[in-house]
């Protein structure tokens, strides 16, 4: 007779076998996820935490992932005005946290203080009380700039004290120059009576922290932006098409042209100008002129395009500045939001051109010197601003004589002269210290060596190609750009998506290093 009892030893062996099989299956799953799909949950979670070496950039894959999620929730909240404003504000604060870590709290301080100061200013019964409240706003915003930008570790302080400059000791919160100026425009306008103070702090937080332009502009005026907040966003077919056009052109300018010529030529020459001929130094200057334009205008284009996709409109920030025939015109086309801010909140309050020629020239010089200082705490930035100031004064002095010159000759001569003057000034803006400025200018003047031109072109053929393409596109008539924009706008959605994919594929093909941050993040 067979026994019904189970052998304990066999049961134990089967249990061990089952455990081994389960463990093996788990290991296979982990292997498939980690190796085949490159899936690591810890690394994915780390993407959401601030990393000082990986700031959140418009042209990074992680931003695209976040933005898609943001849009999905944003679309659901469109009918719910306060929830939509809250969602955008929270996302904007997170965006800045990914760029600057705990310094996102600076936004909280600015929002709370300036919002209340503006309300108290509007309710103030005496002018003196209004003045003191405005002074507090100025001290808060400009004080933060001074603390972070012009401290004892800054390049300017080291130059003045003849001590070595250590860049590692300087930490500048991303975009602090932009969002402080933006907040100041609000309090100053309320003080002047040109703007009514807001009643809801959330609206003001939305204005100050709006993520597309928070870290590198454009500097949006409160009077232009605040009326858009409480309107239900509407994205027309034209707005959507223009947004796609601006995002793709901005991505192309930044991630293809600017990053390529920077990584493969410009940075090398500016870092060690004595190792290159004067010819190479000169072309590096031309290259940097295109690099900084494509980098900064590319960011502005993407910021304006992203804002359009969610129903908000920003003014144009760049208008083909290298087509200018004078320095005065250049500053009407370059970084328009900053130049108009300096005009309205500094140059005109100083007296503008209302108090005679001499005072006008002084006001121009002061405005441009402070504009240079706004860019950074270094003597070279002040020299850069001073040179532009002197050029503006010179143009006013000789304006009557130039006005009698033939139109075509004046345009051609003025365009070439203006471009080369701007390029000359860029040397001070880009070079790491005045010693490098002297070395570069010496190489161009004394060791030009034009006989190596064809060798240079052959050796740097891809760089020359992208530089030439950049200048060619930049110098195209405005009517051509408007035509291209209409073409993109009229495309079916499938073709728009294909255009974005093609530009993205081109970026992946051309890039030779990791995603590079925008130049103006340091300002």
Residues written for the chain: 523
Q: Round to whole Å and give the CA distance between 22 and 29.
A: 11
What tokens appear for 484 in the block? 């291209």
107 is catalytic: no
Q: Round to whole Å and give the CA distance between 133 and 148.
A: 23
Q: Which of 59, 107, 335, 375 is catalytic?
A: 375
Q: At what angle do helices 81-100 and 61-77 cross, to 10 degrees?
A: 160
Nearest CA to 313 out of 411, 399, 242, 208 is that of 242
Encode 411-422 in three state secondary structure: HHHHHHHHHHHH
DSSP 194: S
- Alpha helix stretches (DSSP H) within 343-477: 357-375, 379-397, 399-402, 407-430, 434-446, 453-459, 461-474
Exposed, middle or buried by CB within 10 Å (0-12, 13-18, 19+), for 262? buried
Contact 334, 321 (CB under 8 A): yes
CA distances from 27 to 20, 41, 43, 360 (A): 10, 15, 18, 76
Contact 79, 73 (CB under 8 A): no
Catalytic residues: 375
């Amino acid at each position: 007779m067979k026994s019904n009892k189970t052998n304990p030893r066999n049961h134990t062996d089967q249990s061990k076998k089952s455990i081994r099989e389960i463990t093996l299956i788990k290991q296979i799953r982990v292997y498939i996820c980690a190796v085949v799909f490159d899936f690591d949950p810890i690394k994915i979670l780390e993407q959401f935490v601030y990393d000082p070496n990986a700031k959140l950039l418009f042209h990074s894959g992680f931003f695209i992932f976040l933005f898609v999620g943001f849009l999905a929730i944003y679309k659901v909240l469109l009918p719910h005005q306060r929830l939509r404003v809250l969602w955008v504000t929270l996302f904007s604060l997170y965006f800045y946290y990914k760029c600057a870590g705990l310094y996102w709290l600076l936004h909280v301080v600015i929002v709370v203080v300036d919002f209340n100061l503006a309300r108290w200013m509007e309710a103030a019964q005496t002018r003196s009380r209004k003045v003191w409240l405005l002074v507090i706003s100025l001290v808060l915003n400009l004080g933060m700039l001074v603390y972070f930008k012009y401290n004892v570790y800054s390049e300017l302080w080291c130059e003045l004290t003849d001590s070595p400059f250590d860049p590692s000791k300087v930490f500048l919160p991303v975009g602090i120059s932009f969002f402080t100026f933006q907040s100041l425009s609000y309090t100053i306008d309320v003080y002047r009576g040109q703007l009514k103070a807001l009643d809801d702090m959330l609206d003001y937080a939305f204005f100050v922290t709006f993520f597309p332009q928070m870290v590198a502009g454009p500097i949006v005026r409160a009077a232009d932006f605040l009326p858009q907040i409480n309107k239900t966003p509407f994205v027309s077919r034209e707005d959507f098409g223009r947004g796609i056009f601006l995002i793709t052109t901005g991505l192309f300018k930044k991630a293809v042209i600017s990053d390529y010529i920077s990584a493969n030529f410009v940075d090398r020459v500016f870092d060690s100008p004595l190792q290159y001929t004067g010819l190479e130094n000169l072309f590096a200057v031309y290259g940097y002129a295109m690099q900084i334009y494509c980098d900064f205008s590319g960011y502005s284009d993407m910021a304006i395009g992203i804002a359009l996709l969610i129903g908000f409109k920003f003014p144009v920030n760049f208008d083909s500045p290298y087509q200018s025939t004078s320095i005065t015109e250049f500053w009407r086309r370059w970084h328009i939001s900053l130049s108009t801010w300096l005009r309205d909140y500094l140059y005109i309050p100083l007296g503008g051109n209302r108090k005679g020629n001499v005072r006008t020239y002084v006001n121009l010089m002061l405005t441009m010197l402070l504009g240079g200082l706004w860019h950074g705490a270094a003597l070279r930035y002040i020299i850069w601003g001073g040179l532009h100031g002197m050029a503006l004064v010179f143009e006013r002095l000789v304006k009557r004589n130039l006005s009698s010159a033939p139109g075509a000759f004046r345009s051609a001569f003025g365009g070439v002269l203006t471009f080369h003057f701007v390029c000359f000034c860029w040397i001070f803006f880009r070079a790491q210290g005045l010693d490098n400025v002297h070395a570069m200018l010496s190489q161009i003047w004394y060791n030009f060596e034009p006989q190596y031109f064809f060798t240079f072109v052959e050796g740097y053929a891809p760089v020359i190609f992208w530089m030439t393409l950049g200048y060619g596109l930049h110098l195209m008539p405005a009517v051509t750009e408007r035509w291209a924009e209409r073409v993109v706008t009229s495309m079916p959605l499938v073709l728009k998506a294909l255009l974005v994919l093609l530009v993205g594929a081109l970026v992946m093909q051309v890039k030779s290093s990791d995603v590079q941050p925008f130049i103006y993040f340091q300002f």
